[in-house]
Structure 1
Amino acid sequence: MSTSTSSSIKQAESYSNWSELPVDLLEMVAKKLTSIEDLYSLGGVCHSWRYVGLSIRKSKNKTLPWLMLTANYTHTHRDFFSVAENKTYTSNYPKAFYDCQCWGSPFGWLVTFSFDRGLLHLLNPFSPLSPRLSLPPLWTFGKSDLSSTRRSLFIYKAVVVLLHSHSVRECNYHNRFLVFVIYGLSKNLAYSRPGDKTWTTVSFQETTSSGGQEDILQLNGQYYSVDSNGSIWLLCDVAADGPNPPTAIPFASPPPMNELLKKRCGKSGRTFSLLEMDAELHLAVRFQHRNTRKTLLIEIFKCDASTCEWQKLTTLGGYVLFLGTCTSISVKASGYSATNCTPGCIYYCYDDYKNHIVTVPPDIGIIDVTRREIMFLNVDDKRTCHFSAPAWVVPTLL
């Protein structure tokens, strides 16, 4: 055997442990990766590979939302379906996921609610080294005596918003996020920051409020909510730390919804979601079948900022929407040309049987807005116990 051959074999053997590859070589490979999915896989190999993946996260931290799949009470992990790759990833976080319901966000963070312990947290499952941030517990709502069944249904929706003076990657986690929750049978609205002792309730005018909110949106430094009638409210003095308590005032009347579908589906067959496109306020109206609760159509309306009048959209103008039981997310399809992202489509996930043991799978699909066609989105989720509902989340490495 020649000396050169022997040397090559010894060199190969010395690198048989992939965790010992030189950092500069790993960085060269990592910089060739084009998506957070690849970086997520890279970081799962070992500690040194994760370090390299995190070192280049700023230029690569961009991907379509992942769909967090349904989970049962005993699950200590969550499965995430990547639309871009048509692939499922798993995040194991036993202490954070067991007996917890979860809601997604556009910032990589989940709101988790342990209905046994009544504790709420903010958690980033894609960055296990990031802290788990405490939110005020259930009993600060004055509802500590709820039965387990009522407690599991107590929070209707949780929404994470980024305070406009902060960036997603700032290390001061406690001050950069505001968390809204819609809670109780009356669907009241409250908010808090991580580390707060109690939730702050938003007051609505009793003479005009429907008594039930369905979604919240932060837009251009303002906060809006939509109630179960489709009316829009402007939230005032939110997180202002001033003497005035947060209140809501009427902002816009419900949009001119499809009258045929309104009669066919009834009031209980409509779901409202607020969203932003081109820095303008939009409202999505989902119509459901009375019996199957499946989505029949989703209409999108744009609100004129000066007149508060509504315009029904027949196209999304290159946007792709992700709607469901969590924060609504809109992205420009042109920024994701190398993926399976289809412009002019709405990806949706709803679970109208949340927290019940049923055999009906979640309502998940794709709507082509221009053609008004519904397509099936196969995420291969076979679970029948919907303790934690599916939700969209944009994975973010910290």
Structure 2
Amino acid sequence: MAAWSDLTFDVLEHITSFLPLPDHYRFGAVCKNWRSVSKQRRRPPAPQLPWLVLEDDKETRNRKFYSLSEAKHYSLDVPELHGRYICGSSHGWLFAVDLKITGILINPFTRECYELPPFPGYNEYTNVTTLIEKVPSNYNGGPIGWTFAKMQPQIVFKAILSHDPMERSDFTAMILFGEMHKSAFWRPGDSSWTVIDGPKSSMDDILYFKGNFYAIAPNNKLYVVDFEPEPKLIKVGPKIPLENGVESCGIQRYLIDFNGHMLLIERTCKYGNGKAITDGFIVIEPKLEQNCYNIWCDIDGYALFLGRNVCIHVDSCRLPKCKKNGIYFTHPNESISSVEFGFHDLGVFDMTDKTMGTFYPVEVFFPRVDSPVWITPNPW
């Protein structure tokens, strides 16, 4: 039998296709030959559960991550992320903003990075302190008590990518920014963001789906981005009623590309002690061509991961450590929190029996700046 270190490249590469990220790094530590194989970019990667991007470690300044499959924390040295909050996760890349209101797009596992131009509406400010000083006195009580955490949704609420920058250099980045969550886009080589003309209502989420960007408003109206001749949002799809026929400030909406189906996920809340607490989710499929919609009772045994990230779905049959028909969620809004399900409302909802549970030890994580964000590791 041949020595393990002498296995051919093709055989070793095939083995790595079954390895999740931690085992991939362990594989590369065996010997020089295996390490050279582990550095090769491969597709498709092994199925894996998302990680949570947590806050900086106070002592080491490393960024903390949480592997859901291993129920284990990792501390990675990514200096570019120190002191920045995460406003988006897409294709394994993070959008991060610092106190000077400058942004980067970075793959934390390869440290490949793009510097982003000043965000629209905020390029006149040099840092968050001067921004807070300009907050109108009648805006939620004015600047008294305002912090970087409270200003985050004002700068960039969410950011996504059309494609993985490691696969295509002509990708497009889209953000929701400002008090009204307006939309804007940027492409490599652009010197600034291009603001998209749209309705007065704010947007809850954005999605790249089958070659187009879509946005969803709190009134459940769906819009598509029309780039020509001038970028604008155009209403499309059926009229989808709100839960119980009323609008609630505690409800968040998400869009997801679910195996070729566009889904709208409504997050419903209950209220207590002045806080909104997640109590369930409704899964809706808008049928754009038929101008109608369907309500889904389950998600075919998959698990969804919702938050500031591009919504992720994984097959629970291939990854048994996650809950079938489970919706894992985080939330960036400090008005939504629950001691029972985790600070900043972390939890998992079972669509089968309509129960709520935990996936993260509540006593461990108390973020100083931003809520955790899901990311699918992409070091290849």
TM-score under structure 2 length normalisation: 0.80
**Structure 1 residues 26 and 137: CA distance shift in structure 2, 3 A:** farther
Deviation (angstroms), 1:320 = 1.6
Partner in structure 2 of residue 272 of structure 1: 253
- Pair member with larger Rg: 1
**Structure 1 residues 46 and 178: CA distance shift in structure 2, 3 A:** farther
Q: Secondary structure at the match of 2:38?
A: helix
Q: Work out the CA distance in 2 between the residues paired with 1:340 and 1:362.
A: 23
Partner in structure 1 of residue 138 of structure 2: none
Partner in structure 2 of residue 296 of structure 1: 279
Partner in structure 1 of residue 224 of structure 2: 234
Deviation (angstroms), 1:270 = 0.7
Q: Work out the CA distance in 2 between the residues paired with 1:285 and 1:275.
A: 11
Report matched runs for 1:1-398 at 5 Å. Answer: 24=6, 31=15, 34-42=19-27, 50-55=35-40, 57-58=42-43, 60-71=45-56, 76-94=61-79, 96-114=80-98, 116-128=99-111, 131-138=112-119, 141-144=122-125, 146-147=131-132, 149=147, 151-163=151-163, 169-170=166-167, 175-204=169-198, 209-237=199-227, 244-252=229-237, 255-259=240-244, 267-290=248-271, 291-334=274-317, 336-337=318-319, 339-353=320-334, 361-379=343-361, 382-398=364-380
Which range moved further: 363-372 or 70-79? 70-79
Whether the 8 Å contact between 1:157 and 1:215 is mirrored in structure 2 is no
**Structure 1 residues 73 and 98: CA distance shift in structure 2, 3 A:** farther
- Per-residue Cα deviation, 1:280-333 (whole angstroms, up to 9, x for no partner): 221011012333322111111011132232211111123221111322112333
**Structure 1 residues 280 and 153: CA distance shift in structure 2, 3 A:** closer
Which stretches in structure 1 are left out of the alignment for 5+ residues? 1-20
Whether the 8 Å contact between 1:36 and 1:62 is mirrored in structure 2 is no
Which range moved further: 344-353 or 98-107? 98-107
Identity between Structure 1 and Structure 2 (%) = 23
Partner in structure 2 of residue 7 of structure 1: none
- Per-residue Cα deviation, 1:215-253 (whole angstroms, up to 9, x for no partner): 11111111110112221111111xxxx6x1210111135
Deviation (angstroms), 1:156 = 4.2
Q: Secondary structure at the match of 1:203?
A: coil
Q: Work out the CA distance in 2 between the residues paired with 1:47 and 1:308.
A: 57
Deviation (angstroms), 1:40 = 3.5
**Structure 1 residues 113 and 74: CA distance shift in structure 2, 3 A:** farther
Query: Alpha carbon RMSD of aligned pairs, Å?
Result: 3.3
**Structure 1 residues 345 and 223: CA distance shift in structure 2, 3 A:** same
- Per-residue Cα deviation, 1:238-276 (whole angstroms, up to 9, x for no partner): xxxx6x1210111135523431xx66xx52111010112
* 1:281 aligned partner, one-letter code: M
**Structure 1 residues 303 and 363: CA distance shift in structure 2, 3 A:** same
* 2:265 aligned partner, one-letter code: A
**Structure 1 residues 384 and 160: CA distance shift in structure 2, 3 A:** same
- Per-residue Cα deviation, 1:101-139 (whole angstroms, up to 9, x for no partner): 11343411101111x2221111111123xx211111236
Q: Secondary structure at the match of 1:341?
A: coil
* 1:296 aligned partner, one-letter code: D
Deviation (angstroms), 1:371 = 1.3
Q: Secondary structure at the match of 1:154?
A: helix
Deviation (angstroms), 1:161 = 2.1
* 2:344 aligned partner, one-letter code: P
- Per-residue Cα deviation, 1:175-219 (whole angstroms, up to 9, x for no partner): 343221111112111111244211111101xxxx34211111111
Higher fraction of helix: 1
**Structure 1 residues 56 and 277: CA distance shift in structure 2, 3 A:** closer
Q: Work out the CA distance in 2 between the residues paired with 1:52 and 1:245.
A: 47
**Structure 1 residues 133 and 332: CA distance shift in structure 2, 3 A:** same
**Structure 1 residues 344 and 56: CA distance shift in structure 2, 3 A:** same
Whether the 8 Å contact between 2:237 and 2:288 is mirrored in structure 1 is no
Q: Secondary structure at the match of 1:197?
A: coil
Which stretches in structure 2 are left out of the alignment for 5+ residues? 134-146
Q: Secondary structure at the match of 2:176?
A: strand
- Per-residue Cα deviation, 1:33-87 (whole angstroms, up to 9, x for no partner): 6322311444579998654322264354431211212458998332222222222
Q: How many residues align?
A: 351
Whether the 8 Å contact between 2:237 and 2:289 is mirrored in structure 1 is no
* 2:89 aligned partner, one-letter code: S
Q: Work out the CA distance in 1 between the residues paired with 2:59 and 2:105.
A: 20
* 1:347 aligned partner, one-letter code: Y
* 1:226 aligned partner, one-letter code: I
Which range moved further: 306-315 or 136-145? 136-145
Which range moved further: 340-349 or 32-41? 32-41
